[in-house]
Amino acid sequence: MMIPAIDLIDGEVVRLFQGDYRQKTNYQTTAKERQDSYAQSGATVMHFVDLDGAKDSNKRQLSLLKTLVKHESMIIQVGGGVRCKEDVEQLLTLGADRVVIGSLAIKEPGLVRTWLTEFGGESIVLALDVKIDAYGNKTLPTHGWIKDSGVNLESLLDDYIAAGLIHVLCTDISKDGTLTGSNVEMYRELCQQYPNIKWQASGGIGSLADITALIPTGVDGVILGRSLLEGKFTLEEAIACWPNA
């Protein structure tokens, strides 16, 4: 499935290049306008990232998110600065269907596994940003992709699966925001190794050919951010080229 994604700063729709707040693009549309347009085009899942909340959870854009998360035709997943159980509860109570957890899933896996057990696998999405080294190891940097966590992807996933993990949004950092295609081979490997995970491929989609290249990998969904915002193709076109859309 196609999953439109919107990043939010101070109520505005933005995109960051490879997670860098200094390389920000603003778009002249409101989040609600975009959401309504994507819903009319056939999207059934949508992804929001609160970048203000990512910097400071006390500055989470709750009033805006409240207008976006309760949607009659779409599953809504929200991320950005989830650091404690209260943050998870806050977003679920607000109306989000799924809460997206990023760096905390790497730094405090024991804690996050307890949330999977308590809230259920359908309520949690792990957002794991991967850096592939010269030896092919899939490492998981933190702190804005700068600090090496010393954790690799596969070793992290095994314990999470035992706790009930279902959804993983996985990004090859080198591809994020580039519109040059995704890491097809990485997703093929991950889907073969972990077939029970519903993988969301993220980063690099710039054309319909980039989407169709992912079909044989087995990913469950494709995150579409910049490509839709900049009109590289329409959401209807993207949905039409995906099997069983």
Domain segments of the chain: what residues? 2-240
Please report the pLDDT score of residue 20 as a whole number.
75
Please report the pLDDT score of residue 117 as a whole number.
96
CATH number listed for the domain at residues 2-240: 3.20.20.70
Please report the pLDDT score of residue 149 as a whole number.
59
Each residue of 138-197: pLDDT tens digit? 888 765 545 565 788 998 998 999 999 999 999 988 777 667 789 999 999 999 999 999
Mean pLDDT score of the chain, rounded to an integer? 92
Exposure pattern of 34-45 as b/e (b: 16+ CB <10 Å)?
Answer: bbeebbebebbb
Please report the pLDDT score of residue 187 as a whole number.
96
Catalytic residue among 7, 50, 87, 210: 7
Handedness of CA 156, 161, 165, 171 (dihedral sign): positive
Residue 212, helix vs strand vs coil = helix
Please report the pLDDT score of residue 49 as a whole number.
96
Strand 2-9 vs strand 12-17: parallel, antiparallel, or unpaired? antiparallel
Q: Give the total residue count for the chain.
A: 245
The answer to whether residue 220 is catalytic is no
Q: What is the mean pLDDT of residues 121-127?
A: 97
| Amino acid residing at 18 | Q
Catalytic residue among 129, 172, 176, 210: 129
Please report the pLDDT score of residue 6 as a whole number.
96
The answer to whether residue 52 is catalytic is no
The model carries a pTM of 0.93
Q: What is the mean pLDDT of residues 95-124?
A: 96
Each residue of 29-58: pLDDT tens digit? 999 999 999 999 999 999 999 999 998 888
Q: How far apart are CA 77 and CA 93, in angstroms?
A: 13
